[in-house]
Amino acid sequence: MPLLSVVVPVYNEEKTIGAFLAAVKPALEEVTSDYEIIFALDPCPDRTEDLILEARTKDPRIKLLQFSRRFGQPAATWAGLSYSTGDAAIVIDCDLQDPPELIAEMCRLWREEGYKVVIPQRRSREGENLIKKAIAYLGYWFINKTATVEIPRNTGDFRLLDRRVVDELMKLKESHGFLRGLTAVVGFKTKLLPFDRQARLDGQGKYNRLTGSILIGFNGIVAFSGTLLRLTGIIGFSMAGLALLGALFIFLGKLFGWYDFASGLATLGILLLFLSGCQLMGLGILGAYIGRIYEETKLRPKFIVDQALGFGDNQEPQP
């Protein structure tokens, strides 16, 4: 059994694969030569697969999972963890925003201080625009205000997970695969490791574009909290109360002749639009939760592996 399993979800990363391997292998050698690097590859049009296969011919510790179609980063990460066999697994992106130099310290905290989960926490986010930083801040703030478990702020999927933690994660049956939240669900002794995140090695990320970050964040909110449903109820009762107060005000105004109500048609129109917007927002949130229930009841696998190179016949992944 390899001591360390390194799980790397990849998609359209031909420009970063070489630099990533050049950085991560020395970092791993500082800890142990007994490791495996599992690339979890969504099918893509560039040369990412060819470069991984080329690297594998030189080092059999490099392994490849390729899926039957694009399942997305959370599913790719989950697949890599399910195929991992190490005493600990490290999830890391290959764009070098997650510095491999932290691996030695992460392993020290795991082996010497007994932490079963080590999560690097970003002190700064170089290379990200103000909008993305604001969305990240608001997303973590809202999730931690509403979720049933605490998800550390300014963290990503970059983390070390003890084998016990990985095994417990694989028992969970949620289809969304939101690793940051699910790690908090299973618990265990956790350490946050502050670091300064660098800009991406090659321009724009292929997985976590702005819209992807918003979708992942919303997914986390829906998956770990029913607060949005309760919030829509509060808004509905509040709007109904305001409507009753407005009706009382109009009645008194007409009774005492305070002003010409014909002039209030524009205000009435704006009010109707606002109430309609609130109703549609509530329906949208309700639909998101119903959609989540629908997805969970189908029990579809999180991923389908087309080919798995470098794994033994006894491997039993848990999609």
pLDDT, tens digit (0-9, with 9 covering 90-100), for 196-235: 777 656 655 555 555 555 565 556 565 555 566 666 666 6
pTM of the model: 0.70
For 243-305, give the DSSP string.
HHHHHHHHHHHHHHT-S-GGGGHHHHHHHHHHHHHHHHHHHHHHHHHHHHHHHHHHT--S--E
CB 56 within 8 A of CB 310: yes
Does the pLDDT value for residue 162 go beyond 90?
Answer: yes
Helix (H) or strand (E) holding 52: helix 48-58
> Tokens 């510095």 belong to which residue?
99
Nearest residue to 5 via CA among 319, 253, 315 = 315
Q: What CATH number labels 4-225+299-309?
A: 3.90.550.10
Q: Taken in order 307, 313, 317, 319, is the CA torsion positive or negative?
A: positive
CA-CA distance, 60 to 156, in Å (whole number)?
28
Confidence of residue 90 (pLDDT cuts 50, 70, 90): very high
Check residues 250 and 166 and name the one with the higher pLDDT. 166
> Tokens 């606002």 belong to which residue?
274
CA atoms within 13 A on the CB side of 131: 5
Phi, psi of 134 (to 5 degrees): -65, -40
CA-CA distance, 52 to 113, in Å (whole number)?
34
| Model pLDDT, residue 153 | 77
Q: What is the pLDDT of residues 108-151, one digit of tens each?
A: 999 999 899 999 988 765 655 566 666 666 666 666 666 666 77
| Pairing between β-strand 4-10 and β-strand 88-91 as defined by DSSP bridges | parallel
CA-CA distance, 121 to 196, in Å (whole number)?
8
CA-CA distance, 213 to 129, in Å (whole number)?
13
CA-CA distance, 147 to 220, in Å (whole number)?
9
Structure tokens that stand for 154 in this block: 């300014």
| 8-state DSSP, 101 | G
What value does the mean pLDDT take over residues 75-90? 92
CA-CA distance, 88 to 273, in Å (whole number)?
54
Q: Could you count the other beta carbons within 10 Å of the beta carbon of residue 223?
A: 20
Q: What is the pLDDT of residues 37-64, one digit of tens each?
A: 999 999 988 889 899 999 999 999 999 9
CA-CA distance, 246 to 249, in Å (whole number)?
5
Q: Which amino acid is at 265?
A: L
Confidence of residue 92 (pLDDT cuts 50, 70, 90): very high
Does the pLDDT value for residue 314 go beyond 50?
Answer: no
CA-CA distance, 80 to 63, in Å (whole number)?
10
Q: Could you count the other beta carbons within 10 Å of the beta carbon of residue 104?
A: 14
Paired strand residues for 193:
120
Q: Which amino acid is at 319?
A: P
Q: How far apart are the first and last CA of the chain?
A: 21
CA-CA distance, 133 to 128, in Å (whole number)?
7
Structure tokens that stand for 281 in this block: 């927002």
Where in 126-261 does DSSP place strands (E)?
159-162, 190-197
